[in-house]
Amino acid sequence: MARCYTHLSSSVWACGAVGSALPWHGRGQGFESLQVHQIYNPKMSPASVQIGDSVICQKLNDEAVLLDLSTQNYYGLNASGAQIWDALVRTNDPRMAAQELSEFYHLPLEAVAEDVQKVLKDLIALGLVTPVTA
């Protein structure tokens, strides 16, 4: 049976198994608890992150769909979440990702860093991204 979650943050929507007839964005579905794969403290951003080996990304206009091949669950990212994902893939560093996005969009670094942390929290909780310890 496919699982579908309501939106996890302002940028991440999560849906169930591949091949299900459920809408990719998960609107109107019940929230299920998520197993947290890593302990996450939003005040202590990891210096580096690693994208899961089983995670693939497909762009859909400005949005993106992430597929975790190990669980066969897929997750939708809105335009902001997709930009954050791309920056994390390029840099593997949440601070550098926030800096890059702040400079590109001419936004205050503190606000962008907060948004990156919100999305990163969900990505870590879903097991799509792993913090790398020194």
Q: How far apart are the first and last CA of the chain?
A: 39
Q: What is the pLDDT along the chain (134 residues), one digit of tens a residue?
A: 333 333 445 555 554 444 333 333 333 333 233 333 333 344 556 889 999 999 999 999 999 999 999 999 999 999 999 999 999 999 999 999 999 999 999 999 999 999 999 999 999 999 999 999 76
Query: What is the pLDDT, as a whole number, of residue 5?
Result: 38
Using left for φ > 0, alpha for ψ between -120 and 50, and beta otherwise, residue 123 falls in alpha
Residue closest to 77 by CA, chosen among 5, 4, 10: 10
Domain parsing of the chain, residue ranges: 12-33+48-128
